[in-house]
Amino acid sequence: MAADCGQTINPYSVSFKYVSTADEFSTSRFRVELRRGSYNGGVWVWLRVTTRYASNLMMGTTEFLSTPCGKVTGLPYGWGNNRTPNSSRCSKAICLGQPASVTTVTYGGGGEERSKSKKVRV
């Protein structure tokens, strides 16, 4: 059965095909990546946030990923925290279904109120 639009999974629990970084930006303390991959007949997107420098800014408190199929917040998966440089955490992966055209997703975070809009070709 193919993945449904809006379904979420732990991105570490499956083996995606064609994984890439669709977009990224850095804040003073974190690098925020919009990741994309194919799994179970669907296209999936998720956030991966890496600590650049130790700080008091909490990882996972401002991160969000909004798609036409739903929204995920926080960084429940991965290891490390805001005090451990190079530690990396991920949001839930959300399925976009099998879109026939460009899909727009909005994401943001990185310990600051910075967000970015990106058209992701799927």
Domain containing residue 42? 8-120
What local confidence, expressed as pLDDT, does residue 112 receive?
63
pTM of full prediction above 0.85: yes
Does the residue 3 lie in any domain? no
Grouping H, G, I as helix, E, B as strand and the rest as coil, residue 109 is strand
Instruction: Tell which residue, 41, 50, 45, 1, has the closest CA to residue 19.
Output: 45
Token pair recorded at residue 86: 């190079």
Token pair recorded at residue 89: 């955490």
Q: What is the pLDDT of residues 21-62, one digit of tens each?
A: 999 988 888 899 999 999 999 999 999 999 988 877 777 788
Specify the number of domains making up the chain: 1
* 37 strand-pairing partners: 44
Q: What is the pLDDT of residues 75-109, one digit of tens each?
A: 999 988 888 888 999 999 999 998 777 788 988 88
Does the residue 82 lie in any domain? yes
